[in-house]
Amino acid sequence: MSTRAFAAHSATTPLSPMTITRREPMPSDVEIEILFCGVCHSDLHFARNEWGMTTYPLVPGHEILGRVSRVGNKVTKFKVGDLAAVGCLVDSCRSCSSCTRGLEQFCLTGAVFTYGWPDKHSGGMTYGGYSEKIVCDEAFTLKVPTNLDPARAAPLLCAGITTYSPLRKWGAGKGKKVGVVGLGGLGHMGVKFAHAMGAHTVLFTTSEGKIADGKRLGADEVIISKNADAMARHAGSFDMILDTVSADHDLNAYLALLKLDGSLVVVGAPPNPQPVNVFSLLMPRRNLAGSLIGGIAETQEMLDFCGRHNVACDIELIRMQQINEAYERMLKSDVKYRFVIDMASLKG
């Protein structure tokens, strides 16, 4: 099935139109006409081969939301016309110890990520959501609460789950002091979720212009991270800090803010190593951890939480043809707070 898309053809050239082929739906597959696709900083890292693992052509996009247009004859969860979503994962072995715990992203024999990953069906690589349609097994397709604005719900599929999952695992909630570093796509959802879970929420930002928005989004306090005095006032006081920064920055400055047994959980993925002074961990005993998206059941739990609490993303809707400009603005931390592609623009 021939499908219009936008692709990166090398690390240094702009994304441009390309026609890709999608498989015909198999018995357990759902075909989705994509309405909206969020733009994650990982799309940019991948398109420019910043992690050294890109195969071209690459069709990015893993915050995919649309309407079911066809279903295979064994599909039970979806019918034509339903809203449906696909995040960062499209398959896994479904039987290893990670998969059976609902941690498909850590599948021991290989999770299949939504783009740039070997695709057993086509023999090539998976293609992401910067496209008109996607075909996905219903087991990896999510249900979308109908009370949410679909464009504002799309980025929940990565920015949402990537912040929700660690906040839940490390116990963000009432009586806890939780920091979120960086107010971008992930960070603004981290602030919303930490606030919704009842934690005392503190935003760290490098951008003075984001102070008012930080408070509006749910932060009880906003700290300009370049201000050493403001940082020092919070030394040894945090239960957890969630770090969403996409570029080089000093992890030690945040470790110093944790109390005994506090955790700095890194989800941002800067391409370079980030040095850690072990004394930042030893005294007082502190944890440095990482987290990768979330499993399928937890992603559904997060979407249902958003439906119940009316939580969605703050977005700037763009046309597919504006993607290269959007990447440049994302690099300047100039996005409020997630670009979402209106996929109708691909047809026009």
Please give the residues from 75 up to 134 whose contact with ligand NAP meets the rule CB under 6 A: none
| Shortest distance, position 226 Cβ to ligand NAP, whole Å | 9
DSSP H or E stretch at residue 184:
none
Beta bridge partners of 258: 238
Phi and psi for 297 in degrees, rounded to 5? Answer: -65, -40
Quick one: what does residue 155 bind among Zn ion, ligand NAP, none, with the CB cut-off 5 to 8 Å set by partner type?
none
Task: Name residues whose C-beta falls within 8 Å of residue 135's C-beta, 6 or more positions apart in sequence.
Answer: 1, 22, 23, 24, 25, 29, 30, 31, 32
231 with 257: CB under 8 angstroms? yes
Q: Which stretch binds ligand NAP (CB under 6 A): 17-25, 38-46, 138-146, 317-325?
A: 38-46
- Residue from 92, 126, 201, 244 touching ligand NAP (CB under 6 A): that is 244
- List the one residue out of 303, 301, 183 whose CA is nearest residue 242: 183
Phi and psi for 338 in degrees, rounded to 5? Answer: -150, 130
Phi and psi for 165 in degrees, rounded to 5? Answer: -60, -50
Please give the residues from 24 up to 43 whose contact with Zn ion meets the rule CB under 5 A: 40, 42
| Shortest distance, position 224 Cβ to ligand NAP, whole Å | 9
Count the alpha carbons within 13 Å of 165 in the hemisphere toward its beta carbon: 25
Length of the chain: 348
Q: Binding mask 132-161 vs ligand NAP (x if CB under 6 A, - otherwise)?
A: --------------------------xx--
Q: Reduced to 3 states, what is the DSSP secondary structure of residue 331? A: helix
Which C-beta is closer to ligand NAP: that of 62 or that of 133? 62
Which C-beta is closer to Zn ion: that of 92 or that of 333? 92
Quick one: what does residue 92 bind among Zn ion, ligand NAP, none, with the CB cut-off 5 to 8 Å set by partner type?
Zn ion
Q: Which stretch binds ligand NAP (CB under 6 A): 23-31, 70-78, 138-146, 245-253?
A: 245-253
- List the one residue out of 55, 266, 52 whose CA is nearest residue 180: 266
| Shortest distance, position 14 Cβ to ligand NAP, whole Å | 18
C-alpha–C-alpha distance, residues 319 and 261, integer Å: 46
Please give the residues from 208 up to 237 whose contact with ligand NAP meets the rule CB under 6 A: 210
Q: Is 158 in the site for Zn ion (CB under 5 A)?
A: yes
Residues interacting with Zn ion, by CB under 5 A?
40, 42, 92-93, 96, 99, 107, 158
Residues interacting with ligand NAP, by CB under 6 A?
40-42, 45, 158-159, 162, 182-187, 205-207, 210, 244-249, 267-269, 291-293, 330, 333, 335
